[in-house]
């Protein structure tokens, strides 16, 4: 991995994604039996959260415990919205639901289920949440010289927020296993000065398209990625 003034480079050993209609798998994904997320874990999270866990489970290296980075603009907001409704109606909330509403709850559950003590970080940075999550993961790889699993998921806010919320991309989940070198393909990431060019899609979707297309480079707003020979 190289960390330079104008870009940061990392290797991608595997990735898995869900975009609402189909799975796209690549890299060091495991066999079908290994991909089965335990029911005890899935039933504690939302529908979109389950897809994020399934994507993460598909690329978790066998017998390893990489550091985890979660990125999400809203997190499992359907759960939070339910808590707000409960507070408004009778002033009480479920302790279990409240404990699972924190932004990093999903990676906390994953860490417990896999006995992973490597630690985790949760990122929320508006529409650039995925980009900063990827940057955090890449920097962690460079510092520790060890694999990092990035997990990203988001879904649109409830309809009642339509009048005040910015446009939300469709629901998606994406897991990317970053390594310091050797496995997979090398990718360079660049953050340019903000020139006002808006991303046509969500940044996570643009990056997923880049991974699946095989094209040499792609840009999304002020973020760009290119494959390194």
Written as one string, the DSSP assignment of 179-225 is: ESSSSSEEEEEEE----SPPPSS-HHHHHHHHHHH--SEEEETTEEE
Alpha-carbon gap, residue 86 to 64, rounded angstroms: 40
Q: Which CATH number fits domain 2-228: 3.40.47.10, 3.90.105.10, 2.60.40.1260, 3.30.470.10?
A: 3.40.47.10
Q: Exposed (0-12), middle (13-18) or buried (19+): which is 178, by Cβ within 10 Å?
A: buried
Alpha-carbon gap, residue 126 to 71, rounded angstroms: 10
Contact between 132 and 75 under an 8 Å Cβ cutoff? The reply is: no
Written as one string, the DSSP assignment of 91-140 is: S---HHHHHT-STTHHHHHHHHHTT--S-EEEE-BTBTHHHHHHHHHHHH
172: left (phi over 0), alpha (psi -120 to 50) or beta: beta
Bridge partners of 157, per DSSP, are none
Residue 198: the pLDDT is 61
**pLDDT tens series, the chain, 229 aa:** 554 447 899 999 999 998 876 665 554 465 555 556 777 777 778 888 888 998 998 998 878 899 999 999 998 888 888 889 988 998 888 888 888 888 888 889 898 888 889 899 999 999 999 999 999 999 999 998 999 999 999 988 888 888 887 777 788 999 999 999 877 899 999 988 766 566 668 899 999 999 988 899 999 988 999 999 7
pTM of the model: 0.88
Helices (H) and strands (E) in the chain, counts: 8, 10
What's the full length of the chain, in residues?
229
Residue 4: the pLDDT is 43
Q: Exposed (0-12), middle (13-18) or buried (19+): which is 65, by Cβ within 10 Å?
A: middle
Residue 26: the pLDDT is 52
Residue 41: the pLDDT is 76
Alpha-carbon gap, residue 109 to 95, rounded angstroms: 16
């Amino acid at each position: 991995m190289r960390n330079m003034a104008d870009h940061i480079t990392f290797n991608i050993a595997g990735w898995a994604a869900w975009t609402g209609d189909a799975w796209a798998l690549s890299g060091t994904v495991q066999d079908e039996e290994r991909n089965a997320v335990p029911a005890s874990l899935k039933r504690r999270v939302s529908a979109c959260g389950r897809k994020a866990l399934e994507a993460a489970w598909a690329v978790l290296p066998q017998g390893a415990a990489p550091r985890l980075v979660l990125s999400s603009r809203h997190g499992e907001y359907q759960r939070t919205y339910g808590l707000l409704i409960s507070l408004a109606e009778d002033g009480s909330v479920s302790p279990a639901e409240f404990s699972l509403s924190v932004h990093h709850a999903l990676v906390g559950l994953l860490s417990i289920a896999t006995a992973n003590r490597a630690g985790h970080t949760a990122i929320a940075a508006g529409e650039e949440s995925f980009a900063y999550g990827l940057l955090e993961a890449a920097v962690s790889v460079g510092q520790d010289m060890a694999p990092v699993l990035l997990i990203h998921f988001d879904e649109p806010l409830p309809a009642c927020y339509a009048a005040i919320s910015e446009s939300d991309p469709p629901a998606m989940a994406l897991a990317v296993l970053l390594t310091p070198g050797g496995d997979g393909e090398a990718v360079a990431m660049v953050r340019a000065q903000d020139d006002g060019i808006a991303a046509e899609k969500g940044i996570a979707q643009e990056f997923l398209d880049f991974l699946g297309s095989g094209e040499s480079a792609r840009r999304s707003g002020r973020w760009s990625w290119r494959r390194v020979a």
